[in-house]
Amino acid sequence: TLQPDTLGLVSAADKLLREGFKVLPYCTEDLVVCRRLIDVGCEAIMPWAAPIGTGKGPTNPFALRLLRERIQVPILIDAGIGVPSHACQVMEWGCDGVLLNTAVAQARDPVVLAGAFRAAISAGRAAFLGGAMAERESAEASTPVVGTPFWHLEGG
């Protein structure tokens, strides 16, 4: 399996950082592990969306969104992305980038799919920067009429 060794990852990152390396750790979406990686000096984290090579997309959206809320360093999604909509989604949540391999390498037309990923990543980032509306449990008027002149509604 290519699952990150979360027990050894922090100590390995610490050692490499002390030796002068820049470390971009491939990790799970575990908040505690990610905080510890930052505490030892990692300037970015690279959590998976799903196990590497699976293409399942974000299997734990809550954890990835929580990382973005609580962690200030760049977050680069490093594994588990299968289709452009997965990449768009993590970018909408505020992630800073997506690393792709298997999804493009195994595509019928890698050039076309890479272009689709590029467009999806750009769209997701724009949605995040534009402040897309939050999900709601029920409908709510988005154009309230109170205090808005609607001359055409008065008397015909």
Q: How far apart are CA 27 and CA 9, in angstroms?
A: 8
50 in any annotated domain: yes
The domain total for the chain is 1
- CB-CB neighbours of 91 under 10 Å: 23
- Please tell me the predicted confidence (pLDDT) of residue 144: 66
Residue position matching structure tokens 């890698």: 110
CATH of the domain at 134: 3.20.20.70
1 in any annotated domain: no
32 in any annotated domain: yes
Type of residue found at 133: M
83 in any annotated domain: yes
80 in any annotated domain: yes
22 in any annotated domain: yes
- Please tell me the predicted confidence (pLDDT) of residue 131: 92
29 in any annotated domain: yes
103 or 150, greater pLDDT: 103
- Please tell me the predicted confidence (pLDDT) of residue 153: 57
Average pLDDT over residues 67-94: 96
Q: How many CA atoms lie within 13 A of 35 on its CB side?
A: 8
Which tokens go with 9?
């990852």
Residue 19 has pLDDT above 80, yes or no: yes
Q: What angle do CA 40, 44, 49 make, to 5 degrees?
A: 115
Structural domain containing residue 26: 6-153
123 in any annotated domain: yes
